Chain A
Amino acid sequence: MSAFDSTVQLVLLACAALFVVGLHLMNAPSTARRGNRLSAAAMTVLLVLTALTLVHEQQITVGAVVALTAGTLGGGVAGWFAARRVAMTAMPQLVSLFNAVGGGAAALISLGEALNPATDPDRRPVQTAVSMILGMAIGGLTLSGSLVASGKLAGTLPGRPIAVPGRSWAAGLLGLVVLGLAAVLLTAAGAEVAALSGIGLAALLSGVVLTLPIGGADMPVVVSLLNACTGTAVAMAGFVLRAGVLIIAGALVGAAGAILTKLMADAMNRSLAAIVAGGYGTGDVAVPAAAGGTAAVREIAAADAALQLAYARKVVIVPGYGLAAAQAQHEVVALARALGERGVEVGYGIHPVAGRMPGHMNVLLAEADAPYQQLLDLDEINPQFPATDVALVVGANDVTNPAARRPGNSVSGMPILDVDRSRSVIVIKRSLGHGYAGIDNELYTGRTTAMLFADAKKGLAALLAGVREYAT
């Protein structure tokens, strides 16, 4: 190994280590930004170094340089503008879109390797061929799956589960096609590009078939799972190209995606298998409540609710999907601030699945300048509810349902926010419609609960106006 090569290898190792350090710094809000910038700096060095290596070895053709430069500039500029302009509420679909193109790039690396005239397919090691197949299959699935997920989150595709007739048969058949073509690729030299393209097409179709029937509310888990897939596809590309740093980075992303997927599935009280199987989880079902349930519901006017909030000592706000969907994060923070100015102690109780991505609600509230110390997770906030005068629930449903503490229903065992243990509860919600679990929320008929039927944004604005009336 020449001195140049050794230096390159050492710097690549340092970059890989910096990715780990960067991710590590994400464990606290005060250092997270530095961590991300460190990771970005390592990435820049790594990419420049890779370009230098190619120049040093003088093995790249002019055409390839032109294609590479044009692609990088075009993609980079597009990514930059999309990232600068996106609204915080639209973040999940953009992250999903970036994930899609990452998977696509990994798949194309497999294809590029097959197109490489310099390598003789007969002499290619079996493990490289297997990595190519896996990279193509996983990358293709991620590309189309993430595009569908992104479309569902953005509303360009309907959020409801779309039934694909004979879905399990279709998925099984596509799996068999991939396996068959993989066998062709491994045995018949010369059919590589065709077989690999076939695998890519089957993988793209599988991504669509598998993601379409999954409802919008389950999308956070799907996005996270597909992110783990991209990580794996990138690691596969690393195996194909024998680039250790790609393997490390892919493994890191794979681990991150896998952990987040598990956390999200647990917080939603669903098995990963049930989510992937799809069929329900729309988050916006508006089924009228059962006749027996509506009788005991107590409705409250915004002015009365505002009075109650203004004269409370301690208020806990529980924001949910409804708040994210209505983009009412600024309104809720304005209300919290007005209450704080009156001397009311305010906190936010945030369930892990609130919002449309893991931790998305925290981003939305942070965007609206909610103080970080007020954002409390499940374990921190639950012991505080018995000492809370008013719990204000904004558009959260299943995560506040006390029925979860009893066995025998679809939310049994789900970790919930104990809002019903506070002295009183005000729920802002448009209707008595069900959450994605599809059952009545016993909280709404509770003795201490009052319902304020309104859109999250309008309801919060009315409360704020009400609270300001009592301003001293």
Chain B
Amino acid sequence: MLLADLTVFVLGLLVGFEVITKVPATLHTPLMSGANAIHGIVLAGVMLMAAAVSTATGYAVVLVAAAFAAMNVVGGYVVTDRMLTMFDPGARARS
């Protein structure tokens, strides 16, 4: 099981390197912000963890972790979208 997980991890890294080296410097800030939003996926992890807790301390941990992760994922995508709108004059005119 560990080997399967490690395989996924290493392949993910390689695909990441391959895709991201092609992004031009102009878009590096949105790229970082967009990648930042993707690690908000940790919210799914918080949900899985929540399924296993049943104590007051556990609930408190879930509450804080969910708030952190949700802020990360929502804020990350919204801020990236705002930045990218600026690179798209058509979208700016519409908004």
Contact = CB atoms under 8 A, between A and B. Distances in A.
Q: Do A and B bind each other?
A: yes
Contacts of A237: 42, 45
Interface size of A as a range: 35 or more
A395 interface: no
Nearest to A69: B66
A235 B45 CA distance: 10
Interface string B11-48: 11111110111111111111111111111111111111
Given A105-B46, A363-B83, A71 B62 contact: yes
A90 to B, nearest CB: 10
Contact of A57 (B51, B75, B77): B51
Interface in B36-95: 36-89, 91-92
A112 B71 contact: no
Contacts of A357: 28-29, 32
A86 to B, nearest CB: 7
Interface string A1-29: 00000000000000000011011101111
Interface size of B as a range: 35 or more
Interface in A338-353: 350, 352
Interface string A138-172: 00000000000000000000000000000000000
B16 A251 contact: yes
Nearest to A22: B34
A407 interface: no
Given A241-B45, A359-B28, A82 B39 contact: no
A50 B36 contact: no
Interface in A64-92: 64-68, 70-80, 82-84, 86, 88, 91-92
B5 A32 contact: no
Contacts of A46: 41, 44
A63 to B, nearest CB: 5
20 contacts: A32-B27, A47-B44, A50-B48, A59-B51, A67-B62, A71-B46, A79-B74, A83-B74, A95-B76, A98-B71, A108-B61, A108-B64, A113-B52, A253-B38, A253-B39, A255-B15, A257-B32, A258-B17, A260-B20, A366-B83
Interface of A: 19-20, 22-24, 26-30, 32-33, 35-37, 39-40, 43, 46-47, 50-51, 54, 57, 59-61, 63-68, 70-80, 82-84, 86, 88, 91-92, 94-95, 98-99, 101-102, 104-106, 108-109, 111-113, 115-119, 125, 127, 223-224, 227, 230-231, 234-235, 237-239, 241-260, 263, 350, 352, 355, 357-360, 362-363, 366-367, 369, 372, 375, 377
Interface of B: 1-2, 5, 8-17, 19-89, 91-92
